[in-house]
Structure 1
Amino acid sequence: MTVKDDRLEFEEHKKKMSLALGKDEVAFRQSIDTLIMLDKYDYFYQWSWMGLPIIQAPADIMATQEVIWNTKPDVIIETGVARGGSLIFMASLFAAMGKTDGKIVGVDIDIRAHNREAIESHPLSRHITLIQGGSVDAETLVEVKKQIPPGARVMVVLDSDHSRDHVLAECRAYGELVTEGCYLVVADTVIGHLTPEQAFTKRSKVWLQGNEPLQAVQDFMGECNLFEVDPVINGKLVLSSSPGGYLIRKTTTDAV
């Protein structure tokens, strides 16, 4: 018996549903309400990847995995190291993909000794380079650029200081490093969808609407024609900390 090969049809249905979900405001608001409820249990802090805490929503971990698999960057730069789980997560994808020379560059103004030790002693540390310094400082950017081999495909994840001005400065500084067809991921854009009464308060610093990553994305997109919001990935990002934060760099012809 011949069984129909329905893989393309399956993928088209996924795309259709993602785009439809992205337009469902009721579902999105319910998702926001759920995240607010879960935050009192430190939901974003409950997960780990291969032994190290990964301070991400599961939906964002899945989305990041999809874009890395689909675009196959050679270098991924992440600002904001925290406890290192995100770096290990991306390094594990490189290992699984057989990218023996794939490189993850972690940038943070304060890489604490115990976190550095946990990262550098991990079996996947061979893929990881740590750079301590302010992410938009000139000296830091020089060191970051040294880690990018000629012709490498580059992806960037911004997850450090979440103020509007800092994230916008990061978008400007790191956006130019992203290669065509690869992603600039701006984390924690969900903050821009919260009223002051809904704001996540169990943080070292509380960010409010207008001074947060979503505002930075909107301002950056208003001044830069090199990126577009991926409607499929972002469409399905409910129960996510970064809805609207997955930007894909256009090809040269698309950016004209």
Structure 2
Amino acid sequence: MADLSAWTPSERAYLLDDLCRQYARASANEGWFRQSWLGVELWQMPQDILRLQAVVHQARPRWIIETGTKFGGSAIFFASLLAMSGQDGAGIMTVDLNLRDEAREVFASHPLGSWVRLALQGDAADPEIIGQFAEQISVDPGPVLVFLDDDHNAEHVQRELEGYAPLLGEGDWLIVADTIFADLAGTPVGQASEKYPNVTQSNPRAAIERFLAKNPDFQRVSPPFDFGPGNFLDGFLRREWHPT
């Protein structure tokens, strides 16, 4: 066994980062991300759930917008955070290309379902969809947090980033899920498919790099608990200033 005490700090950091990367790769392939929150299915790694709650606690958003409703679990998760924080009047807005009946039922029947103010079906990057979210915010303005977690192709994510950026004010958060996607190449879930022909070249991480190169008012920031495994440790962005 190697004597780790003889390793340099950078060598130990590389080993730890690689172990966390391998854990995340295993999680994606073994389904360790399959959780539930207050009885609703939620596909997020537990460590990422903790990071998201810390951001919501810090940012105290008036509006949380998520792309990728799926079963409704993430919307209920965010709703529970707003409710526990006593943020009366705050709300969730969500969109999915194919809004599931299960999600509609959750929002209609769950005790926290009323916190979901708007649930839309359609392309999350469609200007008309974004316009409906913007209209809601204009009626009741306040801090906004956007969580992008649907189609992970770079072109789509970049369209989302460019589309939702104008909704954010100074200090607001824009979080991109599953930047780990780029590291899944060579694993079963990273194989080429009709939806994802090349995860190495087309992924959320590539979209973020292109977005940041054109939008200097946004900066990548370290998430809460930036140690340990996670599916999007490099996906946390904040608007540091607002162009005049």
The normalised TM-score by structure 2 is 0.87
Q: Return the offset for 1:138.
A: 2.5
Contact 1:57 1:241 (8 Å CA) reproduced: yes
Compared CA separation, residues 123 and 180, structure 1 to 2 (3 A): same
Q: Percent identity?
A: 30
Task: Work out which of the residue numbers 162, 183, 188 in structure 1 matches 2:152.
Answer: 162
Separation in 2 of the partners of 1:40 and 1:193?
12
Residue 175 (structure 2) aligns with? 185
Task: Work out which of the residue numbers 50, 65, 69 in structure 2 matches 1:77.
Answer: 65
The normalised TM-score by structure 1 is 0.83
Contact 2:223 2:233 (8 Å CA) reproduced: no
Separation in 2 of the partners of 1:53 and 1:232?
24
1:53-72 equivalences in 2 (<5 Å): 53-72=41-60
CA RMSD of aligned residues (A): 2.4
Separation in 2 of the partners of 1:210 and 1:204?
15
Count matched residues: 231
Contact 1:131 1:144 (8 Å CA) reproduced: no
Contact 2:222 2:233 (8 Å CA) reproduced: no
Q: Return the offset for 1:31.
A: 0.9
Separation in 1 of the partners of 2:27 and 2:161?
29
Task: Work out which of the residue numbers 211, 231, 240 in structure 2 matches 1:250.
Answer: 240
Residue 4 (structure 2) aligns with? none
**Is 174-183 or 32-41 further displaced after alignment?**
32-41
Aligned residue for 1:33, secondary structure, equals: helix
Tell me the amino acid that sits aligned with residue 84 of structure 1: G
2:215 is aligned with 1:227: no
Tell me the amino acid that sits aligned with residue 183 of structure 1: W
Contiguous gaps of at least 5 residues in structure 2: 1-8
2:15 is aligned with 1:26: yes
**Is 113-122 or 48-57 further displaced after alignment?**
113-122
Compared CA separation, residues 34 and 208, structure 1 to 2 (3 A): same
Q: Return the offset for 1:174.
A: 0.5
2:124 is aligned with 1:132: no
Task: Work out which of the residue numbers 93, 108, 113 in structure 2 matches 1:105.
Answer: 93
Tell me the amino acid that sits aligned with residue 70 of structure 2: A
Contact 1:234 1:243 (8 Å CA) reproduced: no
Task: Work out which of the residue numbers 202, 205, 209 in structure 2 matches 1:218.
Answer: 209
Compared CA separation, residues 199 and 217, structure 1 to 2 (3 A): farther
